[in-house]
Structure 1
Amino acid sequence: MLLKKFKKEALKFAKGLELVDFSFGLPYTYVLVEGENGRALGVAMTLPEEIQRYENSIGEPSLEEFIKKADSLNIVERTLALAAINAVSQYHIDLNNAEWADAVELFSDDIGKIAVIGNMPPIVKALRERNFKLYIFERNPKLWDKETLSDSLEYWLLPEVDAVIASATCIVNGTVDMIAERAKNAKIILLTGPTGQALPEFFKGTGITHIASMKVVDIRKAIRELKLGCFKGFAEGSIKYIVEI
């Protein structure tokens, strides 16, 4: 399970870092950490449709205690854990070999069928303009449209696709392992979005081939916008990157 792997690796990298701030909220949960080399912000998209009744089992919040909840069955704990893992990752990440390009540019014209996991209109629009055959999957009924398929069909259709671009929220909801397994015939399996901030080496051996995420460079502004529930304001304080696993 990917989240168990994340937990084990992140606890090693968390040594020497302190928890400065955190918040479970909409649209993103965040964790802020600090070490000798400064501060780093990690985020994870909050999935309101999956939130369960929750009573705090973490006790006194700490970076290590958050990370240990990565494989919890409770979505609140998993979201906080992934934000913490992402904060640790962003503190240590080396982006010297990253690409500063749009994620859809990874898909060459010889690719036929693409699975888009999570209805992401800008990405869908860009891929349609290039005439790819798309399967668009979405779990949240509020985000469905006439072209959207239920995510229950992923198990059936993923073995047929040549490439996958999936919202990194599949890490939070625990479907990332199934996606990688069922799409093993795909040339590219790309996770995209701020939730995919984990260190690229954490994904080795999983079948994931690329990560497209963002590094927060204006932490103060990003936290302010996150506290106000803003999507775009948060992104404005960040830079996008793509790394190959």
Structure 2
Amino acid sequence: MIVDELIDQALAMVQGRKVIDVRAGLGYTCVMLEGSACGLAYTFRNELGCCCGILDVAGNLIGMNADKIIPWAKESDRLKAAIGLAAVNAVINDPGKNWDTGNVLNAFTLHESDTFGMVGEFKPILSKVRPMTKNIYVFEQNVPEGSELYPADTIPRFLPGCDVVVITATSVINHTIDEVVSYCKNAKEVCIVGPSTPLCPEVFRKYNITLLAGSVVKNPELILQIVSQGGGTMSMKPAIEQVLLRI
């Protein structure tokens, strides 16, 4: 599984660092490690339930070796998985690297004849795509009645016919990414997007992924405050930098 490979990559890089802070916010989860390295992951707040969202180790995470929580990324408990992936991203998404920056909206090209697929609705991207092609499939787990969205169970039918595909990085947290990318083998461009994205070409290049559009945390103290106060993607912008990694 992709998540197992990401875990292995992070464990090989963590170098014994300890957990300095953990914030499980309504929008995102953040983990800070020694050296002020921060990673983010989406919080599936509607899938935590009344019990499984309660951590029996709460209050004991600070000072724990990071290699103890990185493997949580493969847990079925959505909160543990978010904490685990945030720890993975704290290790891998190094703000000290010389990343290419920019917005994914400008990173791929669509022709009128192309078919565009999106797994997880990103409205800003859709607003750019709609004038470029009429052949659009947007898949979501929960589709409101009367919506133009396609339910996730139609992915095997329609995604193999898409030329350009954008996939939310939250698919790493809910462990659907392996199945989704298996239907993208005919695509010329496959992008993983969102602040939860691990910037790890060593793993993703094996799966026909061509572009990673994620974030690095530039202001750790600010991001901890924003996450704790229920901030989402837009609120986090002053504390992060959008990164584009072409594979």
Moved more, 86-95 or 65-74: 86-95
2:242 match: 240
**1:181-200 map, 5 Å:** 181-200=182-201
1:82 match: 85
Q: Distance in 1 between matches of 2:113 and 2:175?
A: 27
Q: Aligned residues, how many?
A: 240
2:12 match: 12
2:37 match: 40
2:216 match: 215
Q: Percent identity?
A: 24
How far the C-alpha of 1:51 sits from its partner, in A, is: 1.8
Which string of whole-angstrom CA distances, capped at 9 and with x for unpartnered residues, describes residues 3-39 of structure 1? 111111111111142211002221001101123xxx2
Q: Find out whether 1:206 has 2:203 as its counterpart.
A: no
**1:92-131 map, 5 Å:** 94-96=97-99, 98-109=100-111, 112-131=114-133
- Are 1:190 and 1:211, in contact at CA under 8 Å, matched by a contact in 2? yes
- Are 1:194 and 1:214, in contact at CA under 8 Å, matched by a contact in 2? yes
Which string of whole-angstrom CA distances, capped at 9 and with x for unpartnered residues, describes residues 30-57 of structure 1? 101123xxx2210101112322432646
- Are 1:111 and 1:163, in contact at CA under 8 Å, matched by a contact in 2? no
Alignment TM-score, normalising by the size of structure 2: 0.88
How far the C-alpha of 1:91 sits from its partner, in A, is: 3.1
Residue 93 to residue 13, structure 1, CA distance change in 2 (3 Å): farther
The one-letter amino acid paired with 1:25 is: G
**1:49-198 map, 5 Å:** 49-52=46-49, 53-54=51-52, 56=55, 60-61=60-61, 62=64, 63-91=66-94, 94-96=97-99, 98-109=100-111, 112-141=114-143, 146-198=147-199
- Are 1:85 and 1:198, in contact at CA under 8 Å, matched by a contact in 2? no
The one-letter amino acid paired with 1:42 is: G
Moved more, 49-58 or 164-173: 49-58
Where 2:130 maps in the other structure, the secondary structure is helix
The one-letter amino acid paired with 1:165 is: V
Runs of 5+ unmatched residues, structure 2: none
More relative contact order, 1 or 2 (CA 8 Å, 6+ apart): 2
How far the C-alpha of 1:94 sits from its partner, in A, is: 2.8
Which string of whole-angstrom CA distances, capped at 9 and with x for unpartnered residues, describes residues 158-190 of structure 1? 111111111111111111111111111001110
Runs of 5+ unmatched residues, structure 1: none
Alignment TM-score, normalising by the size of structure 1: 0.89
Which string of whole-angstrom CA distances, capped at 9 and with x for unpartnered residues, describes residues 102-133 of structure 1? 33531242661011111111111110022341
Q: Distance in 1 between matches of 2:102 and 2:9?
A: 26
Where 2:93 maps in the other structure, the secondary structure is helix
Q: Distance in 2 between matches of 1:104 and 1:112?
A: 17
- Are 2:74 and 2:173, in contact at CA under 8 Å, matched by a contact in 1? no
Which string of whole-angstrom CA distances, capped at 9 and with x for unpartnered residues, describes residues 55-83 of structure 1? 64668433111112222222121111101
Which string of whole-angstrom CA distances, capped at 9 and with x for unpartnered residues, describes residues 194-240 of structure 1? 00034332323122221001112122222111111122221222111
Which segments of structure 1 move beyond 6 Å, counting only runs of 4 or more?
none
- Are 2:163 and 2:186, in contact at CA under 8 Å, matched by a contact in 1? yes
Q: Distance in 1 between matches of 2:198 and 2:6?
A: 12
